[in-house]
Amino acid sequence: MVGTKLMTTRLSPTCLLLAFLLAHSLSLTAGNPWKVLKRVGTFIDSMSVRGLDRNYIDAPQRPWQIIARGNVNQSSLKMNAKGTIMGIPYTAKPYLKTEPSQYVGMWVGYRGYGLGYTVNVGGDKGSYLTFGATGGAYGVNVRIHSFKNSNPKFSLNSSIIPEESADTWEEVQLIEPIRVRTIIADGYYLFNGKRFSYAAAYDQSVLQKRSAGSLMAGAMYYYGHINYASHTNGDLIYLMNGLGRVKLWQGSVGVGYAYNWVPARGLLVSVMAMPMLTFVNKIKAYGYATNVEEMLEDPRLSEEDITDEQWDEIFYNGLRISPMGDKTFNSGMTVNFDARVSLTYNFGRYFVSAYGQFNTFRYRHDSSRGRLNDRFINTAFGVRL
């Protein structure tokens, strides 16, 4: 994970820092570089509490942070489709859930300005990259997650499936996996940034001394790409009414509330909930034709002495898909949800924290629809120097 944490009040930190560095550009070339760095540090120290109510928010005396971090992430995808198989109606409900993926890493920063990196150590073997910035009156986060799954749970209801064979559809082993990639970018503006701090809960660059809450406005961008288009997944594509790939773009805005509760010295519990109206809900659906019905009529598959292994070999080796084009359309307004909970404890120069976030996104295309849930938990142990 690469993270950039920016700390400010209601003024832009980038503009302030650039102005400061420009004013001291001569010192960088002619003066003592260490003296210049000290001045930069002093400037950041004063900026970190400028405009804040010091009875509620304060900056730690030690400005440097070294943080060991762990992350657990899990995503789930539910799809639903209705159609007919050779004239017989059915309902198909593929469901896949990633194994919890674990990441560990470090973060080093000064008053919230810093860099971090994490590596995957187990789980779905996907990739996970995050960027973030939190300030006195705002919060911005970007998360990129890619994963694949070859073992979706599958519910297929149809009179064409014998009752004694229904259980075999619960666990499906795909030859080619379903691949999913998501990008989530969200930003918030806090109307009580003077007394309420997001940074105290999520990067610990400041301290929340007394309980306070804030009404907040938020915006979110979501991109998702679900892809299972391959010849050997022709039967899945057929059941999903020819849908083999889906790209989604969603833009949402919402109003919510966040509260920092300080029940005891050093202890902070932070909660945030925000329903969001998705006004941009664009979908690009990729259609494919299959030869599933032709393969099901292959006389070799109806031989009495054929084994399951022989049936699979004949059927899946003969499956073929062909692109039928793509269609882009707006799926209409919907409601999504964003929620966070965090727990932080500061003791001396050390602190521990944990926070979780949950997001849900929906799409619809003709008689096919889906819902993607994304959740993660971050844990951290840090020391201030």
pLDDT 10s per residue in the chain (385 long)?
333 333 333 334 444 443 444 444 444 444 566 555 555 555 555 555 566 788 898 888 888 888 888 877 777 767 666 666 556 565 666 666 666 777 788 778 777 666 667 676 766 666 666 666 666 677 787 878 777 777 766 555 544 444 444 444 455 678 888 888 888 888 889 899 889 988 888 778 788 999 999 999 999 898 888 898 999 998 888 877 788 888 888 899 999 999 999 999 999 999 998 888 888 888 888 889 999 888 988 888 888 888 888 888 899 899 999 998 888 877 677 777 788 889 999 998 899 999 887 777 666 655 666 777 777 788 889 898 8
Token pair for 226: 């679900």
Token pair for 69: 């971090």
Please state, in angstroms and rounded to a whole number, the distance separating the CA atoms of residues 78 and 276. Answer: 20
